[in-house]
Amino acid sequence: MTQQNNIRAGIALMVAATVVFALQDGISRHLAGTYNTYMVVMIRYWFFAAFVIVLALRANGGIKATAKTNQLSLQILRGVLLAGEVCVAVYAFTILGLIESQAVFICYPLMIAALSGPVLGETVGWRRWAAIGVGCIGVLIILQPGMGVFNPWAIIPLISALMFAVYGLLTRYVARQDNSATSFFWTGIAGAVAMTLIGLWFWEPMASRDWAWMGLLCVTGVSGHWLLIKCYEMAEASAVQPFAYFHLLWSAILGISIFGEALRPAVVIGAGLVVAAGLFTLWRERRQG
């Protein structure tokens, strides 16, 4: 894709994407609270696969050119890993709620920064390590281990964040040979195949009103990815990525207003430290870039 230099438009698109993804999380929590998580994610991935196929058909060379890769095993691994991460994240929503799940999950950029050295051979200086340490303190404040109120289920979004971080590192690695269209295509196809093999075993009847919610979930998933694609066409990632943290704000609003969740002071303080550390890491990457 051809990148422009319209930072204001890129920021607007990123904020819009965070709104859509927060709505997607809320709908996922609603549906997965009633139906099996694997089935919900499977149907969502069917629409995702259809979306990437349509994009591939419209691209130069069609599906054959888009799907061509010398790293097929890694591309499939990426797609399966992301599908698994989505299942873990959605399950976390049903156990912990949107606010606490997202507050822990937003540490994934720090995990990427920490693992980029041993996995990709990138240089991680002391400033980034300091930011990673601050982020870890923030996560510990949210989890509150040893305070008598620690919920072991809080490890679930942490696992989700780790899986997404590894997915992000693999995406960086395959980008050395494959373009973004190829990676996006295999993300949808591999994830859809994996979820179909699992989700069909957990199929259960769905009420007609919930099919409407499922349709909206699929629409938000596709539109969210479309907004991100357009966002990165408008401006470079380092300029718009900090605004991805608005996702946490919208999730908190949904969690409080729709699902009756409570906003603990520890979550506010811990999430603030994680966001600050993440923004510093992004700033360092931009300066070095």
- Boundaries of every domain in the chain: 7-106+152-263
User: What is the reported pLDDT for 219?
Assistant: 92
CB atoms within 10 A of CB 260: 8
Q: Which residues does 25 contact at the CB level (< 8 Å), separation at least 6?
A: 89, 93, 98, 102, 251, 254
Q: Which residues does 11 contact at the CB level (< 8 Å), separation at least 6?
A: 235, 239, 240, 243
Q: How confident is the model at residue 134 (pLDDT cuts 50, 70, 90)?
A: confident
Give tens-digit pLDDT for 171-228.
888 888 988 889 999 999 999 999 999 999 999 999 989 999 999 999 998 888 888 8
pTM of the model: 0.85
CB atoms within 10 A of CB 49: 21
User: What is the reported pLDDT for 275?
Assistant: 80
Give tens-digit pLDDT for 232-272.
777 776 667 777 888 888 888 898 899 898 878 878 887 78
